[in-house]
Structure formats: structure tokens, C-alpha cells
């Protein structure tokens, strides 16, 4: 690999003053990014920070509005991903972008197969593949079909393919999110080896521990702006989380939530999970108690397992281990309908994918859950449906021209209110609200926060997930903190301040406490 020689000249990839806007959104503003050869550089930020936009600008998927990219000091214009590859910039995405029904060798050489007299030289190809795999210490048979390999190996083969094309810069977009601990370790070994070969690696991940394990530098983005570039040793975990979430640690502006700590003593929880987990979620088994009249926040970074935890309770992912008790009674929840019949409701994180029926009317979207609870042959009368729809449209102040309008024509905030109405109509005792305020306007946000407090006041138990710390502090009386797919701590009233929450989310410092 001639990359080592190039490294001696200390060349690098520089992005300066990058700006990119989409209609109505400023995705990136004046961002600098500097990648050296032979380093692993973490790119960190919460949802909407601009990580993926920056990567897409670098790889030529998007064109930038302002700024410049330089390779070894020379200006570089990247028009397309193919262009980026020609300049030695390759990307491996979370979803492996290979052909599962071809062999490992075919995948490695697809598009530049060694040829003999115009035909593919299979022997040569398999030999070359074996050599490449040996070089990178990847234990895979070149003639094996790709989908017979584990996801980790597939990911490494994707990397090998990228590296094989004379790549000096490699972008890994959340490569570890579907790997287990051993597989992650294998991947890291490969990454370190590539680093020693002089490849500059951009590593995007949600797992803070992994950053500290493998990276040299961290660049943090927030709301499309650069927060800063840091050396890993000089940036404690807590400081990193603070920078990602944009809160100053000493700004202790806690709101007092007037709950008595011993309030629930002796009371039977509405929902109690004991050692519960599901296969799909990959969350470590957890215990949890939810009482009537309380709002419990679920904190943690994106990908920490907040959503997966509540999905296991609701039966959206089928529980494979542990017990679930409703009001002290052991119950089996096989699917969401069971959960609904036990008084649960679940507002999913992704409104468009899991929430709305876009072509159905507002009325149908409101009554669908209650109708499903009643069953197919106990159809509500049209009048009844209209009465409910009207009632909840008025209650939640939903702005729609009439109840027969298709929901897809409503604004995001109003769609979310329709889904809230859908669940309120089933009169649940335990409500799971996963990011109910994401992507909706400020006015509606406040309305929804007020509604959450009102529901708790009426004796409902609410599980509230939000990426906005302020919002959670304002509404929650207790907070469950998740980190790396594990429930790490429950914070009660006295500990509910930004300082403690940040510390717990960041982790790695529990020994000092």
C-alpha cells in the first residue's frame, strides 16, 4: 500500500466553512472538518446535528452551498460518490451494500473483476480475494456465498472492498449498531490495522464507549454547526455529552417537580417489568415499575435503547424473557392488542412509518385503535365515530378542515395530535409516548407537554421519551437513564437536574461517585 509513503508527507483531507441548506432547513453552517491519514476520527452529534449531511457532501451525494474541500492542500471538487471513490474516499453504510447471493470474492471484485481474454478469470479472482482477506485478517472463505457469513464479517468484507480500491479515507456510518460485543471487537481490530496502514477513518456511532475505545479525535456537531474538534484523551465523557446536547453543566436551572419521594410506597404499580427483554430490541433485561399518576422520563442518547425498552413492554417487539405484571398480576403480552386490552397505549417514535394511515381520514385515524379493541364484528356506528372524532378534535384543538380530510394533508403537529387522540380514546391507564414532540412547532409542543401533566393528574401513568432534556425536566417526576442498550440508573426527584442526568448518560465515571 503506497498510502504509508503519502502519510509521511503528512497529507490530509480538509473541509472548510461547509454550508448546506435545504428548503426551510439550514442543515450545515460554516463547518470545518479535518481528517488526517492514519487516524480514527469520531463524528458525533444527536439527531439533526448534520453528521449525515456532512458525509453526503464529502462523498458527493449533495453539493455544498459554501465552503471548500481540499485533498493534501489541493482543491477537490467531488461531483458524485463514484467521483469520491476515484479520489480514494469510500463509505461503508450500516446496511451492508453488497449482493447477498454472490460469493465473497465476487462481492470484493464486482465491477473490476480480473479478466483473461475478456472473460472473468475466476481462479485469479479467488486467489486475489484470499490474499486480500488474509492481509486484513478477515476469516472468510472467498468462495462462500456472502449471506452465509455473519453480519460482522459482511461488514468487514464491505470494508475490504472499499479498501481494495486504493482508498485512503474510509467512512464508517454506524457500522456497529447491529453487531454484538465480540463482533465489534473484530471490527475494531480491522479498523486499527487499517489505521496503521495509513487510512484515515471517519467513525460515526451512537455508542460513547466505542468512541473512547478506538478513536483518536472527536468532532462534535450540533444543529448543523461545529462545536469543536477534540483529542479523545482530553475530552471526558461528560464533557462530550454536554457538547453534544448543548447544555452547560453548571447552569443548574432545575425546576422543582413537587413529588413526594415516598408517594408510591405500598402502592401496586400499574405496570411492572421484571427482568424483561425482547430479542428484537437487544436491550439488556431490565426491571421497571410504573405507578399511577406519574410521568417517568426515559433518557439517554439516540440508540441507547430507550425506544426498544418501551417496545418490549408494549409487545411491539415480543418479549422473550422475564415477566410483566399489570396491577400486580402476571400477564402475557403476545402482541400490541394484548397490551391495549390491559390498558396500554403506545405513540411510536416514527409518526410516518408506524403512526399514521396517510390515505385514511382524520376520523378513521382517530377511531382505528378503539375499533381494533372492539373487534371486527362490533363496528362502531358512523354517528359514534363522528362524535368521538369531533370530541377529540375539539379537546386537542386539532386543526383540520373537516373530519373526513385525509390525515396526510395535516401538518406534522396536527397529525401527532390525531394519534394522541387515537390513544386517549381507548382510555388507557399506561401511556407510552415516544418522542411525541419531535418535528412539531413550539406551540403544539407546549400543548402536548401540558396534556402529559394533565393525564398524570388524572391518574394515568405516562412513559415519556424525548431527546430534549428541558422538556423532560419540566414534566417528569422520575427518570430512567439508558446507556448502550442498558438501563443504568433511575433518578428520583432530588437527582433530577441536568448535571446528574448528563453524568449518568455519559457514564464511565460511576466508580468515582
CB burial of 431-445 (b: ≥16 within 10 Å; e: otherwise) equals bbbbbbbbebeeebb
**Continuous segment of H or E residues that includes residue 202:** strand 200-204
Q: Is 336 in the site for other proteins (CB under 8 A)?
A: yes
Nearer to other proteins, 29 or 351 (CB): 351
> What residues form DSSP beta bridges with 169?
89, 200
Of the candidates 219, 218, 168, 172, the residue with the CA atom closest to the CA atom of residue 194 = 168
Please, what is the minimum distance in Å from the beta carbon of residue 471 to other proteins? 23
From 97-105, 234-242, 297-305, 335-343, span contacting other proteins (CB under 8 A): 335-343
By CB under 8 A, tell whether 346 contacts other proteins: yes
Q: Which of 348, 428, 436, 507 binds other proteins (CB under 8 A)?
A: 348
Stretch that binds other proteins, among 42-50, 126-134, 230-238, 331-339 (CB under 8 A): 331-339
Which is closer to other proteins, CB of 213 or CB of 350?
A: 350
Name which of 261, 236, 264, 253 is nearest 498 in CA terms.
253
Stretch that binds other proteins, among 5-13, 206-214, 332-340, 457-465 (CB under 8 A): 332-340
List the helix and strand counts (H, then E) for the chain.
17, 22
303: its cell numbers: 440508540
Q: How far is CA 161 from the centre of its chain?
A: 26
Lay out the site mask for other proteins across 417-446 (x = CB under 8 A, - = otherwise). Answer: -----x------------------------
Candidates 117, 119, 181, 353: give the one binding other proteins (CB under 8 A): 353
**Least distance from other proteins to the Cβ atom of residue 374, Å:** 8
- 252 near other proteins, rule: CB under 8 A: no
**Quick check: 119 binds other proteins (CB under 8 A)?**
no
Burial class (CB in 10 A: 0-12, 13-18, 19+), 512: exposed
Closest CB 338 distance from other proteins, rounded Å: 9
Nearer to other proteins, 135 or 386 (CB): 386
Cβ distance 362 to 418 under 8 Å? yes
| Cβ 317 to other proteins shortest distance, Å | 11
Cβ nearer to other proteins, comparing 179 with 368: 368
Q: Other CB atoms closer than 10 Å to residue 458's CB: what's the count?
A: 9
Residue 335 within binding range of other proteins, rule CB under 8 A: yes
Taking the complex as a whole, how short is the minimal distance between the CB of residue 368 and other proteins, in angstroms? 5
CB nearer other proteins, residue 160 or residue 419: 419
What is the distance between the alpha carbons of residues 46 and 297, in angstroms, rounded to a whole number? 18
Q: Name every residue whose Cβ is closer than 8 Å to that of residue 190 and which is 6 or more positions away in sequence.
A: 136, 137, 138, 156, 159
To the nearest whole angstrom, how small is the minimum distance from the Cβ of residue 357 to other proteins?
5
Q: Please tell me whether residue 356 binds other proteins under the rule CB under 8 A.
A: yes
CB of 366 to other proteins, least distance (A): 11
CA atoms of 219 and 51, how far apart (whole Å): 10
Binding to other proteins in span 358-417, by CB under 8 A: 358-360, 364, 368-369, 371-377, 379
Shorter beta-carbon distance to other proteins: residue 250 or 359: 359
Residue 111, exposed/middle/buried by CB under 10 A (0-12, 13-18, 19+)? exposed
The answer to the question of residue 447 lying near other proteins (CB under 8 A) is: no
Residue count, binding to other proteins (CB under 8 A): 27
Residue 318 interacting with other proteins (CB under 8 A): no
C-beta of residue 366 within 8 angstroms of C-beta of residue 424: no
Candidates 45, 479, 503; CA nearest to 237 is 503
CB of 173 to other proteins, least distance (A): 24
**Nearest partner of 159 among 201, 115, 196, judged by Cα:** 201
What is d(CA 324, CA 288) in angstroms, rounded to the nearest whole number?
9
**Binding interface with other proteins (CB under 8 A):** 316, 335-337, 340, 346, 348, 353-360, 364, 368-369, 371-377, 379, 422
Amino acid at each position: 500500500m503506497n498510502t504509508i509513503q503519502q502519510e509521511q508527507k503528512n497529507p490530509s483531507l480538509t473541509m472548510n466553512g461547509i454550508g448546506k441548506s435545504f428548503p426551510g432547513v439550514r442543515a450545515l453552517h460554516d463547518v470545518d472538518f479535518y481528517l488526517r491519514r492514519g487516524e480514527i476520527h469520531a463524528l458525533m452529534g444527536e439527531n439533526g446535528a448534520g453528521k449525515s449531511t456532512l458525509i453526503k457532501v464529502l462523498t458527493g451525494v449533495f453539493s455544498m452551498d459554501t465552503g471548500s474541500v481540499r485533498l493534501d492542500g489541493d482543491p477537490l471538487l467531488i461531483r458524485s460518490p463514484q467521483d469520491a471513490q476515484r479520489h480514494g474516499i469510500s463509505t461503508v453504510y450500516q446496511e451492508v451494500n453488497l449482493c447477498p447471493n454472490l460469493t465473497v470474492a465476487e462481492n470484493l471484485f464486482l465491477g473490476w473483476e480480473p479478466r483473461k481474454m475478456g472473460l472473468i478469470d475466476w481462479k485469479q479472482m479467488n486467489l486475489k480475494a484470499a490474499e486480500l482477506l488474509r492481509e486484513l485478517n478477515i476469516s472468510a472463505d472467498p468462495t462462500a456465498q456472502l449471506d452465509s457469513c455473519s453480519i460482522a464479517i459482511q461488514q468487514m468484507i464491505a470494508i475490504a472492498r472499499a479498501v481494495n480500491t486504493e482508498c485512503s479515507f474510509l467512512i464508517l456510518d454506524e457500522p456497529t449498531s447491529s453487531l454484538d460485543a465480540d463482533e465489534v471487537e473484530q471490527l475494531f481490530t480491522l479498523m486499527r490495522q487499517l489505521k496503521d496502514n495509513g487510512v484515515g477513518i471517519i467513525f460515526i456511532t451512537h455508542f460513547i464507549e466505542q468512541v473512547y475505545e478506538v478513536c483518536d479525535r472527536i468532532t462534535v456537531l450540533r444543529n448543523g454547526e461545529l462545536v469543536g474538534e477534540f483529542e479523545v484523551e482530553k475530552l471526558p465523557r461528560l464533557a462530550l455529552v454536554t457538547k453534544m446536547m448543548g447544555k452547560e453543566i453548571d447552569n443548574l436551572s432545575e425546576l422543582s417537580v413537587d413529588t413526594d419521594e415516598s408517594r408510591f410506597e405500598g402502592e401496586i404499580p400499574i405496570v411492572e417489568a421484571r427482568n424483561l427483554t425482547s430479542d428484537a430490541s437487544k436491550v439488556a433485561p431490565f426491571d421497571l415499575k410504573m405507578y399511577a399518576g406519574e410521568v417517568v422520563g426515559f433518557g439517554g442518547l439516540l440508540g441507547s435503547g430507550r425506544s426498544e425498552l418501551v417496545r418490549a413492554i408494549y409487545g411491539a417487539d415480543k418479549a422473550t424473557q422475564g415477566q410483566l405484571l399489570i396491577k400486580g398480576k402476571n400477564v402475557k403480552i403476545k402482541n400490541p392488542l394484548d397490551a391495549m386490552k390491559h390498558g396500554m397505549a403506545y405513540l411510536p417514535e416514527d409518526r410516518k412509518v408506524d403512526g399514521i394511515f396517510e390515505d385514511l381520514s382524520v376520523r378513521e385515524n382517530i377511531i382505528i385503535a378503539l375499533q381494533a379493541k372492539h373487534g371486527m364484528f362490533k363496528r362502531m356506528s358512523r354517528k359514534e365515530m363522528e362524535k368521538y372524532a369531533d370530541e377529540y378534535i375539539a379537546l386537542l384543538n386539532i386543526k383540520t378542515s373537516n373530519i373526513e380530510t385525509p390525515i396526510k394533508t395535516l401538518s406534522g403537529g396536527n397529525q401527532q395530535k390525531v394519534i394522541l387522540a387515537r390513544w386517549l380514546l381507548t382510555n388507557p391507564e399506561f401511556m407510552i409516548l415516544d418522542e411525541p414532540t419531535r418535528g412539531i412547532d413550539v406551540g403544539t409542543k407546549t400543548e402536548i407537554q401540558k396534556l402529559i401533566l394533565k393525564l398524570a393528574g388524572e391518574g394515568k401513568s405516562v412513559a415519556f421519551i424525548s431527546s430534549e432534556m428541558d422538556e423532560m425536566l419540566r414534566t417528569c417526576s422520575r427518570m430512567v437513564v439508558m446507556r448502550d442498550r442498558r438501563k443504568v440508573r433511575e433518578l428520583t426527584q432530588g437527582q433530577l437536574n441536568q448535571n446528574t442526568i448528563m453524568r449518568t448518560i455519559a457514564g464511565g465515571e460511576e466508580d468515582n461517585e
